A and B are shown apart, each in its own frame.
Chain A
Amino acid sequence: MLESGLDAAPAASVAPLLSVAGLRVEFPTRRGTLVAVHDVSFTIAPGEVLGVVGESGAGKSLTGAAIIGLIDAPGRIAAGEIWLAGRRIDNLPYTAMRAVRGREIGAVFQDPLTSLNSLYTVGRQLIETIRTHLGTTQTAARERAIALLDEVGIPAAARRIDHYPHQFSGGMRQRVVIALALAARPKLIVADEPTTALDVSIQAQIIELLKSLCRDHGTAVMLVTHDMGVIAETADRVAVMYAGRIVEIGPVGAVIHQPKHPYTVGLMGSIPSIVDERERLMQIDGSMPRLTAVPSGCAFHPRCPHAFDRCVRERPELLPAGATHAACWLVA
């Protein structure tokens, strides 16, 4: 199930660190089952940054949550498999998954204030995480916590470790959250909108930090964001999601500059840039369908300028299209 050919050339030569195959996330409701993530498959190689983009409701955050094992009930993984470093993790019991989460997969969320406990000093939270996962002594854990804070660029780490989250600014808090995610030296970090709540100058610092950590430690990152600019600067490969499915996946340069799927084309054209001079932005009319009313065939067909009758009837699979893979009858 993993040989679907979705790996780009560099990833194919190495055994993937993470493989997701046929992932389906469902929410049972009184009016029937809503499928929020539909047959999603991808891999991440060690040290690779996979960007996952899409608009609100595309299912990108849920895909991340499924990998960390944090889908809230009544939502559930209804089908598919998630393998991390040769071990299947989607069906682990709660306690076993707790050991994986934090130890092997780190998580960074959008809002740094809600990711930290405001009643404990950041040091206590870091030390707790380190001791839980690495079982070191209090003294060693504290030393490591200071080293981590130092590594993520917090000045005067030895003093700041005893401060509470409210004593940090937004950008510094996000650095603390990244330090927490790194505490047990995980192989994979799932970062869900890590820069969205931050100002642009701070955002640049955090992107730079994530990139350098990847480079130095070979940590793979799944970067979930709606901001194509962040993806362009950070990711090696990009997956574009629409209405719960991956519609295009490929190397970052190809997806941005030669997108094949009409949705990706529209998405790229609708982003204003500080370097070009356009009279009008490209516009995709309408909006993403609600999960209760996903159109038949290709879910994008009501908004697609090139849709023909096959798009209404039949759903396209992800197939090679130029340098990327796209799910569109135009390229099939």
Chain B
Amino acid sequence: MSGALLTLAEVTRHFDVSPPWLNRVLERKGRVILKAVDGVNMALRRGETLGLVGESGCGKSTVARLIVGLYQPTRGTIVYDGVTLAGDGAAATDGALARRARRGMQMIFQDPYASLNPRWRVADIVAEPIRAQLPNTAQVELERRVVAMLEQVGLAAADGVKYPHQFSGGQRQRISIARALSTNPSFLVCDEPTSALDVSVQAQVLNLMRDLQRQLGLTYLFISHNLAVVHHIADRVGVMYLGRIVELAPTRQLFANAQHPYTRMLLDAVPDLEMTGASRTAVGGEVPNPLDPPPGCTFHPRCPHANERCRREIPALLPIGGELEGEVACHAVAEGRLPPRAVALRVARAGTA
């Protein structure tokens, strides 16, 4: 894994959602553990955008929070820029070193209405990470930096004295980006950064993020439930289902030649402009209750290719092999009993459009 900026190894996060002790005793019930993230392995290369997709409750936001340190993993190791931040060996990491490493990562949140303090002026919001992480910065330098940041995200220097409520949703998300970039991070964790925005504003923010990545050499972990957005922005895509990564592959390959049945199902379900009037087979079933996931491969109750082994044994994330890059966690793929995906229709339509 040389060249990896961030490595997650077997990262697991469980939440104890048991009823109170007295209820458990009286009702003779055991503890209830929610496995929000269950053994995630992935590595981010410097300068790339890794997209993480999945439906609600699949654990993608928990992964983001584990990486930036808002949660501590139950098990597993997180290594950023050669420094072990959590898991085995984290105790041995020098505190100052860990803090310096953490300074390299910042987070952008989904809701630009909830993530900016309404009582602070924009300049103070953007300056806050610098004040927290580099308290010795001179006031003049701080102000210069804030102005530079605002201009970089397409706002005016004069906007610094305004309050968040004076801005629209898209402008607020620009303020969030300016705040995240103010300490010169090299890695941004973006948790659904455009989901609360209208499409024309979403396009502005996505274009801005791409421009900034090019100018500043940023690495993004881009989390979204919107496959089209991820297709547009990501270099590689990881698909999560019930706390596990089921497929991780380069974007173009994933969208053209998806391996995992869940990925194929998701891709077939995306409504697309090219699908005018076309009918398709909707996939049945829903995400099972994560408190009581099915045994074996958690996707088997919805999977058309499931067999006895899938119901028993949890598949590991293995290289796809052949000419394909990436990894997939599926017994059917590993055994070679999965038919190739019918993509002809969609590609043909795109060609004639």
Q: What residues of chain A have their CB less than 8 Å away from a CB belonging to chain B? A: 55-56, 169, 171-172, 199-205, 207-208, 211, 226-230, 232-233, 252-253, 256-257, 266-278, 280-285, 287-288
B93 within 8 A of A: no
B341 within 8 A of A: no
Docked complex Cα distance between A277 and B252 (Å): 9
Shortest B165–chain A CB gap in Å is 13
B55 touches A201 (CB 8 A): yes
Given contacts A201-B55, A274-B272, contact A280 B286 (CB under 8 A): no
B74 within 8 A of A: no
A256 touches B273 (CB 8 A): yes
Inside 8 A of A205's CB, which chain B residues have their CB? 282-284
User: For this complex, into which size category does the number of interface residues on chain B fall?
Assistant: 35 or more
Q: Which of A253, A268, A281, A285 has the most CB of B within 10 A?
A: A281
Interface hits, B272-300 → A, CB 8 Å: 272-280, 282-284, 286-287
A278 touches B287 (CB 8 A): no
Inside 8 A of B227's CB, which chain A residues have their CB? 200, 274
Inside 8 A of A273's CB, which chain B residues have their CB? 228, 231-232, 272-274
Given contacts A56-B198, A272-B232, contact A200 B225 (CB under 8 A): yes
A227 touches B271 (CB 8 A): yes
B265 touches A274 (CB 8 A): no
Interface hits, B243-293 → A, CB 8 Å: 252, 255, 265-280, 282-284, 286-287
B18 within 8 A of A: no
Inside 8 A of B255's CB, which chain A residues have their CB? 274-275
Docked complex Cα distance between A253 and B271 (Å): 15
Shortest B228–chain A CB gap in Å is 4
Docked complex Cα distance between A228 and B201 (Å): 15
B170 within 8 A of A: yes
B276 touches A266 (CB 8 A): no
Contact of A233 among B233, B266, B271, B349 (CB under 8 A): B271
A199 touches B225 (CB 8 A): yes
B272 touches A211 (CB 8 A): no
Given contacts A171-B286, A274-B272, A275-B346, contact A55 B198 (CB under 8 A): yes
Docked complex Cα distance between A122 and B216 (Å): 55
Instruction: Give me 10 A-to-B residue pairs in the complex whose CB atoms sit less than 8 angstroms apart, sorted by A's number.
Output: A200-B225, A201-B283, A208-B279, A229-B228, A229-B272, A271-B228, A272-B203, A274-B267, A277-B252, A287-B168
Inside 8 A of B284's CB, which chain A residues have their CB? 205
Shortest B178–chain A CB gap in Å is 18
Docked complex Cα distance between A267 and B201 (Å): 10
B202 within 8 A of A: yes
